Amino acid sequence: MSAEITIDTLRLTAEEGADLLARKQLSAAELHGAYLAAVAERDPELHCYLRTVAEAEGDGVPIALKDIISTRGIETTAGSRILEGYVPVFDATVAARCKAAGMPIIGKTNTDEFAMGSSTENSAYGPTKNPWDPTRVPGGSGGGTAAAVSAGLAPWGLGSDTGGSIKQPSSLCGNVGLRPTYGTVSRYGVIAFASSLDQIGPVARNVRDCALLYSIIAGRDARDSTTVELREPVRLPEDEDLTGVRIGVPKEMNEAEGIEPGVAEAVRRAIELAAELGADVGECSLPRSIAYGLPCYYLIAPAEASSNLARYDGVRYGPRVEADGFYEMVERTRDAGFGDEPKRRIMLGTYALSAGYFDAYYGQAQKVRTVIAREHAAAFERYDVLVSPTSPTVAFELGAKATDPLAMYLSDLLTIPSCMAGLPGLNVPCGLSAGLPVGLQLIGPQFSENTLFRTGYALERALAFDPVPARLR
């Protein structure tokens, strides 16, 4: 490394890192090494990583991958004991695309078990702490990636979002995170939770990095039949005004019970700023999406999870608890291998799918899902982007909701409806409440990522939020 370059991993953006590499001011191995050094310094406190990768393979900006993404030769556990010791023999397509772009892997990040949770406290390997205040949660399920990016332990990373697991931790950690349009990013090799909802997406320190990473992972993959090609190339945003952008403020999502006053206030200021930047701002309404989104999700997601998790049986993957006979072995392995939250969802989902109940629960939830999609489509006849808080609260204390699943589920009240409708959503930090980040959620119609990036970028510039946690500056 040339003497005059010191790498401040807390401040360096991926774009700046790429620029330093292109100008040969440092090597990819040196950049990777700088992140590993930061991990050695700060991760014992924060526990963002389940494991790190010592070798820098590639000549690009390094990346952190949520441990739900299969990586060849690197243990991949989905935060569960039932996959302890499982070393995939192949890369997920998103991992392969990152590698093809030259990106060395820094490590695999912590997650709620099978991405089920909103605080990363459901990880079988212990919780991750929020870099802004280590007595608080980083959100979940992708708390590991979000906290790593916020604490300067990765310039960017990938998460997975079923009902909010990219957007909500990005909100609680002060990052930019995108849940892409359903079908634009391959899930091949991604450990499945609820297949009609799961999406992989980028987490970064700013909107341009987020867009850049999205452009690397998105697009049709012959190995995932649910994927499509993007309709237009990803544009890195550069406009600082919002002239011509029509922004809708769904009343129910901005006035919902449980939104903390400090969160409502920061979001209200961001909306005013959008109007000052030239956006056309108006009010709209999504009454049924907000009333039914969460209950509908907690039928569909567990139902699909119960099916996806049936494969962990002590035969195909991971550890086995020996017993007399096959069925007893499977029963004991699953009892020992799964934590409480996956068990809760397997039971709920199996019930909802069982003969005689299917139509009343899963079938009915699918119909409600159509209602939610139509309600959003109607709003997009008048608006390009819908805005709300991402999370009703800032980061909460570790343990505050761990024993109350329903309180935990409410963390995703505002992120879930658009996920049910297959729509993209971007979290952009919009200020602090009591010293903790508040996230603004931008929702668009399918394939509107470029509009979300443009809107997010203009707001990011105007808001000038400092993404480095105050205690680490």
Binding site for ligand GLN (CB under 6 A): 115-118, 141, 161-165, 193, 301, 412
Of all residues in this chain, which one has the CB nearest to ligand GLN in the complex?
A: 165
Q: Whose Cβ is closer to ligand GLN: residue 6's or residue 403's?
A: 403
Task: Confirm whether 186 is a catalytic residue.
Answer: no
Q: Using an 8 Å Cβ cutoff, are 95 and 104 in contact?
A: no
- How far the first Cα of the chain sits from its last, in Å, is 24
CA dist 54 and 35 (Å) reads: 11
Q: Whose Cβ is closer to ligand GLN: residue 278's or residue 405's?
A: 405
Cis peptide before 141 (omega within 30 of 0): yes
189 burial (CB, 10 Å; 0-12 / 13-18 / 19+) is buried
**Annotated catalytic residue, options 70, 80, 118, 141:** 141
Owner of token pair 């695309």: 97
Q: Which amino acid is at 460?
A: E
Nearest to 126 by CA among 147, 112, 141: 112
**What's the closest the beta carbon of residue 193 comes to ligand GLN, in angstroms?**
6
Q: Using an 8 Å Cβ cutoff, are 113 and 341 in contact?
A: yes
Nearest to 441 by CA among 160, 93, 80, 178: 178
Q: Whose Cβ is closer to ligand GLN: residue 249's or residue 305's?
A: 305
**DSSP H/E element including 158:** strand 156-161
Q: Whose Cβ is closer to ligand GLN: residue 168's or residue 333's?
A: 168
Task: Confirm whether 141 is a catalytic residue.
Answer: yes
Tokens linked to 354: 């069982």
**What's the closest the beta carbon of residue 293 comes to ligand GLN, in angstroms?**
12
**Annotated catalytic residue, options 165, 170, 411, 418:** 165
Relative to beta strand 436-443, strand 425-433 is antiparallel
**What's the closest the beta carbon of residue 299 comes to ligand GLN, in angstroms?**
12
Task: Confirm whether 66 is a catalytic residue.
Answer: yes
**Annotated catalytic residue, options 66, 99, 129, 167:** 66
462 burial (CB, 10 Å; 0-12 / 13-18 / 19+) is middle
Helix axes 449-463, 207-217, angle to 10 degrees: 160
**What's the closest the beta carbon of residue 224 comes to ligand GLN, in angstroms?**
18
**What's the closest the beta carbon of residue 58 comes to ligand GLN, in angstroms?**
28
Q: Whose Cβ is closer to ligand GLN: residue 193's or residue 312's?
A: 193
**What's the closest the beta carbon of residue 301 comes to ligand GLN, in angstroms?**
5
Sign of CA dihedral 191, 193, 393, 286: positive
Q: Whose Cβ is closer to ligand GLN: residue 71's or residue 118's?
A: 118
Q: Using an 8 Å Cβ cutoff, are 432 and 404 in contact?
A: no
CA dist 329 and 326 (Å) reads: 5
Q: Whose Cβ is closer to ligand GLN: residue 21's or residue 137's?
A: 137
For the chain, the C-alpha Rg in angstroms (whole number) is: 21
**What's the closest the beta carbon of residue 414 comes to ligand GLN, in angstroms?**
12
Tokens linked to 224: 């995932």
So which residues are the catalytic ones? 66, 141, 165
